[in-house]
Structure 1
Amino acid sequence: MAIYVVMQPPRDRVDADEVYVRDGFHVLGFLLPLVWLLWNRLWIETLVLLAVMLGLGILGETSGTAEMLVGGFTLLVSIYVGLEGSALRLWALRRRGYAEWGVVDADNRADAETRYLSAQPDEIEAGPRPLPPIRQGVVPADTRGGNEPELGLFGYPGRN
């Protein structure tokens, strides 16, 4: 089973849906990190990746002996995007105002959506339920005694 992080849209965007982000390794993010970042609309992360890749390319061109080192750094950047792609996506969604609802264990996105919707209350926008009024001087019936010494892990109310 995979773990999906459910992100709820900001309240001012009524047309937006929840976003389900799968936690785990992203193969396409490892093989084609630039394409994966653009596909997921991670613009700032794409610009940072381009700057790092261009810097590594310039480093490889200026120093002829560092080709293996530049190749290793490029591989490390690809591994980072594959491993931390979901965290980058969550970070971008938080910047856009999305709030984290929680996590859902599911086999695929459709199951994650079903589990999320089944956990939602039936009443939509009903607001919080009001608390009962506080009545002064009324002692609940189940708090008899309470000051007797107890032996063991559990106390037995009503036993002397």
Structure 2
Amino acid sequence: MASFVVMEPPGRAAEERAVIVRDGFHILAFLLPAIWLLVHRLWLETLAVVLAGFVIGLLGAWWGSGTASIASLMLALFVGLEGSALRLAALRRRGWREWGVVEAGDVRDAEIRYLADIGPGHVTRDTVSDTVPPAPVMTAQRPAPTRSGPVLGMLGYPGRN
């Protein structure tokens, strides 16, 4: 079973437009990093990967192709491993909020579990702030401090003799 992170957009009716992102290695992001990032609308990340590829090419021309091959493999491995984290960070920058994590076999099962968890009376954080008054804050009464003996031999608490 895989882990899926559910992201809800800001505003009402969030469950209709929620995005489910699988947490794990993405083979297409490893094989075609820039294209995978473009498909998922990660513009800044695509620009960074293209620039890093350009710099790797320049360094490969200077130091040799072996170094460039290893560096480009490491870049592709990074995008493959961190692709879902990059996608989640981009959604958070756009104001989306994380609903939670769902364990499922595939995306369809994750969507079914998410919709089953929220149920028909799903209340988002936005609607909670509009409809439900905040709960009163209850403070616990602390008991009066008792005098105790020294701690750790000769050392006591400051202010106590």
Share of identical aligned residues, percent? 47
In 2, Cα distance between the equivalents of 1:45 and 1:75?
Answer: 17
Alpha-carbon contact 2:25-2:82 (below 8 Å) kept: yes
* Post-superposition CA distance 1:76-118 (Å, at most 9, x none): 0000011110000000000111000000001111111111111
Q: CA–CA distance in 2 between the matches of 1:96 and 1:52?
A: 24
Give yes or no for contact 1:40–1:89 (8 Å, CA) kept in 2: yes
From 98, 101, 104, give the equivalent of 1:100: 98
Look up the match of 1:84.
82
Letter in 1 for 2:86: L
1:45 aligns with 2:45: yes
* Matched pairs, number: 131
Q: Which moved more, 1:112-121 or 1:44-53?
A: 112-121
| Residue 20 of structure 1: aligned partner | 20
> Secondary structure in 2 aligned to 1:123?
coil
Matches within 5 A, 1:146-157: none
Instruction: Identify unmatched segments of 5+ residues in structure 1.
Output: 134-160
Q: Which structure: larger Rg?
A: 1
Partners of 2:135 and 2:81 lie apart in 1 by 49
1:57-78 C-alpha deviation (Å, 9 max, x unpaired): 11222x1x42111110000000
Shift of 1:13: 8.4
In structure 2, the gaps of 5 or more residues are: 137-161
After superposition, the CA RMSD in angstroms is 2.6
Partner of 1:118: 116
> Would you say the 8 A contact 2:8–2:17 is kept in 1?
yes
Q: Supply the AA of the counterpart residue of 1:116.
A: Y
Q: Which amino acid aligns with 1:43?
A: W
Which residue matches 1:72? 70
How far does residue 44 in structure 1 lie from its aligned partner after superposition?
Answer: 0.3
Partner Cα distance (2:115, 2:16) in 1? 15
Report the TM-score, using the length of structure 1 for normalisation: 0.73
Deviation of 1:42 after TM superposition, in Å, equals 0.5
Superposed counterparts of 1:135-154, under 5 Å = none
**Map of 2:153 onto structure 1:** none
Shift of 1:47: 0.3
CA displacement, residues 129-158 of structure 1 (integer Å, 9 cap, x when unaligned): 67999xxxxxxxxxxxxxxxxxxxxxxxxx
TM-score (norm 2): 0.73
